[in-house]
Amino acid sequence: MRKTNTNLTILIILFVISIVIANVVGARTITTGLHLGGIELALSGGAITYAVTFLCTDIIGEIWGKETAKGAVKYGFIGQLFATACIIITGWFPATDAVMDGAYNTLLGQNWVFVTGSLCAYYASQSWDVAVFHRIRDWYIKKYGSTHGGRWIWNNCSTMTSQILDTVIYATISFGLGLGWIWTPAGRADLLGIMIGQYLLKAGLALLDTPFFYFFTRKAREQ
C-alpha cells in the first residue's frame, strides 16, 4: 500500500466503521461449541469485526507513523460517540410500529452499556497497541538498523497483548456489570467463558492477519 492520503483515508474509514459495527452487534453472544473443563467458550459478536481495527492501526503505524496511528484512534473514539448519540436520539422518538420498535430496542436498547464497555476497552487497548507496536519497532530498528525481518514481531506482540486488555475490560463492563453476570456463580462462569473464547478468537485472528499486514506494508520503506 502506497503512502497516499487516499489510502490513509480508506484505512481510517474502515477502522471507524469496524468499531461502530462492533458496538451494534456486541450484545449478540456467539457459541463456539467448545468447552474448557465445565466452562463453555463463547464470544461477543463484535469480537470478529473489532479485530480488524488492530490490523488497520498497525498498517497505519507502519506506513504513516505513530502520531498518525494515534490520530486514527481519536477518530474512532469520536465515531463511537457520534453513533451512540444517533442511536439514543432515534430511540427517543415515538415509533409507528410496535413490532419494529421492539426489535429496535432488543438490538440496541442496551447499546449504552456495551458502548461504555467498548469505549473503556477501546481507549486502553488501542493506546496500548500503538505504544507497544512502536516501542518494539523502534528498539528493533535501533538494534538491527532496519525493519527487515522483524515486522511480524511488533505486529503480533502489540495486537495479542492489547487484546487481553480489550477482552477483560469489555467483557467485565458489558456482560459482567451490564448484564449482571458477575453477581452469580453461573454468571461468573459464563463471563470467564466469554473472556477465554473471545481472546482465543482474537489471538487467532491476530496471527492470521500477519500475512495481510505484510502484504499491505510491503511497499513501506525499510528503515
pLDDT in tens, 26-77: 667 777 777 776 667 777 777 778 788 889 999 999 999 999 999 999 998 8
For 33, the enclosing helix (H) or strand (E) is strand 29-36
Counts of helices then strands in the chain (DSSP H, E): 8, 2
pLDDT band with cut points at 50, 70 and 90 for residue 117: confident
Closest CA to 168 of 185, 182, 152: 182
One-letter identity of residue 16: V
pLDDT tens, residue by residue, 78-88:
888 888 888 88
Paired strand residues for 41: 34
Domains of the chain are 5-216 (1.10.1760)
Q: Are 76 and 53 in contact (CB under 8 A)?
A: yes
pTM: 0.84
